[in-house]
Amino acid sequence: MSDPMRPPVSHHRPQTASLRSDPSRPRASLRTAVVWDVLKDALDRRVKATGRDAHVGLDVLDTGGGSGNFAVPVARLGHRVTVVDPSPNALFALERRAAEAGVADRVRGVQGDAHGLFDVVERGAYDAVLCHGVLEYVDDPAEGIGNAVAALRSEGVLSLLASGLGGAVLARALAGHFKEARHALDDPNGRWGEGDPVPHRFTAGQLTELVEGAGLRVAAVHGVRVFADLVPGVLVDTEPGALDALLKLEAAAAELPAFHSVATQLHVLGETPVATED
């Protein structure tokens, strides 16, 4: 196992151009641009590795996928997506969103959660698994990752997105809540107090250790929302060229380990060892 405090340097550099050219992704995609570009690249490589026709697509599982922020764009690429979410309202919104996007035949929503994942989906049935915004809320993060990995086929890819410790500490400090910022630093779960709605936060090292412990190779680590949550929205909306410049800045900083420690979220791309062989 590699040193968990020194995540590997990514060879998958985010490209903001693909996001800007996609009319289905509004300005709010500023917060997910890095994840989307890394994920799309990983799925494209999986298609090539499987040798399938591009029109056949992959089987993708989106755990905690909610109303389809990622599931619907993934389906638009031609993949079949199963979304597992505990909220009936979110699944209803997913169904409507998929229909409006013209991908209802490639998106399936089922009610469930990470703990009872295999009560609703099959083990080893997916080419890719998305685990976005889930690990923070499970009682046992190692079990959550283990279930996500167990859903993969022998060759597959895991996209993991979770709350970053450093981003929360920085946000509390900038808001003038210095005691809460210090509390988050010292708390084993990265919580700033009893009123904190997030049960767990992670460092890049902790996430890579969890992914490697589940048997995957960490192919890339990126910081997400390094600057987006700190820049006033009015500046992005009114300053000419600000959104484009901020997108490029986020992409440039995302893979630099120095910025992982202050990112609001952390994205880890894990691949089965066979899937990474040349």
What is the rounded average pLDDT of the residues 260-270? 95
**Cα–Cα distance measured from residue 28 to residue 47, given in angstroms and rounded to the nearest whole number:** 28
- pLDDT score of 156: 95
CB 135 within 8 A of CB 162: yes
Question: If pLDDT is split at 50, 70 and 90, which confidence band does 275 have?
Answer: very low
Is the pLDDT at 23 greater than 50, yes or no? no
Give the orientation angle of helix 242-254 with respect to helix 33-50, to 10 degrees: 60
- pLDDT score of 11: 44
**Cα–Cα distance measured from residue 239 to residue 189, given in angstroms and rounded to the nearest whole number:** 38
Question: If pLDDT is split at 50, 70 and 90, which confidence band does 238 have?
Answer: confident
CB 140 within 8 A of CB 259: no
Q: pTM higher than 0.75 for the full model?
A: yes
Q: Phi-psi region for residue 155, left (φ > 0), alpha (ψ -120 to 50) or beta? A: beta
5 vs 43, residue with greater confidence: 43
pLDDT in tens, 69-128: 999 999 999 999 999 999 999 999 999 999 999 999 999 999 998 889 999 999 999 999
**Cα–Cα distance measured from residue 79 to residue 59, given in angstroms and rounded to the nearest whole number:** 6
- pLDDT score of 244: 84
Is the pLDDT at 228 greater than 90, yes or no? no
- pLDDT score of 115: 87
Spatial CA neighbour of 190 closest among 209, 168, 210, 174: 168
Mean pLDDT check: name the lowest of 22-31, 50-59, 105-114, 176-185: 22-31
